[in-house]
Amino acid sequence: MEDHIVFHRDSAVLDLLDQRKLPDSEERFLCRTTADVITALQVMVVRGAPAIGVSAAFGCAIALRESAGPDWREKLRKNLAHLRAARPTAVNLAWAVDHMTALWERNASLGPEDLMKLFISEAETMRRADIASCMAIGRFGLPCVHDNDVILTHCNAGALATAGYGTALGVVRAAFENRKNIRVIADETRPFLQGARLTAWELQRDGIPMTVACDNACASLMSRGFVSLCVVGADRIAANGDFANKIGTSGVAILAKHYGIPVYTLGPTSTIDMNCPDGAHIPIELRDGDEIKNLWYEKPMALPEVKCFNPSFDVTDHELLTGIVTEKGICYPPFNESLAALFKDKK
Residues with a catalytic annotation lie at 235
Q: How far is the CB of 22 from ligand MRU (least distance, A)?
A: 12
CB distance 238 to 279 below 8 Å: yes
CB distance 236 to 315 below 8 Å: no
SS3 156: coil
Residue type, 129: A
- Return the residue nearest ligand MRU (CB atom): 233
Q: How far is the CB of 10 from ligand MRU (least distance, A)?
A: 30
Of 219, 224, 210, 214, the C-alpha closest to 256 is 219
Report the sign of the C-alpha dihedral through residues 51, 171, 191, 316, in that order: negative
Nearest CB to ligand MRU, comparing residues 246 and 293: 246
Percentage helix, strand, coil for the chain under 3-state DSSP, each rounded to 5: 45, 15, 40
Nearest CB to ligand MRU, comparing residues 99 and 267: 267
Nearest CB to ligand MRU, comparing residues 184 and 234: 234
CB distance 119 to 100 below 8 Å: yes
Nearest CB to ligand MRU, comparing residues 162 and 228: 162
Footprint on this chain of ligand MRU (rule: CB under 6 A): 44, 47-50, 90, 155, 157, 161-162, 167, 194, 233-235, 245-246, 312
Nearest CB to ligand MRU, comparing residues 67 and 89: 89
CB distance 244 to 313 below 8 Å: yes
What DSSP state is assigned to residue 226?
A: -
Of 106, 94, 92, 100, the C-alpha closest to 125 is 100
Q: How far is the CB of 120 from ligand MRU (least distance, A)?
A: 24
Rg (CA), the chain: 20
**Torsion-angle region of 43 (φ positive above 0: left; ψ -120 to 50: alpha; else: beta):** alpha
CB distance 181 to 174 below 8 Å: no
SS3 342: helix
Q: How far is the CB of 155 from ligand MRU (least distance, A)?
A: 4
Q: How far is the CB of 114 from ligand MRU (least distance, A)?
A: 33
Nearest CB to ligand MRU, comparing residues 36 and 235: 235
Q: How far is the CB of 169 from ligand MRU (least distance, A)?
A: 8
Residue type, 134: C
Nearest CB to ligand MRU, comparing residues 36 and 314: 314
**Torsion-angle region of 224 (φ positive above 0: left; ψ -120 to 50: alpha; else: beta):** alpha
Q: How far is the CB of 75 from ligand MRU (least distance, A)?
A: 28
CB distance 97 to 84 below 8 Å: yes
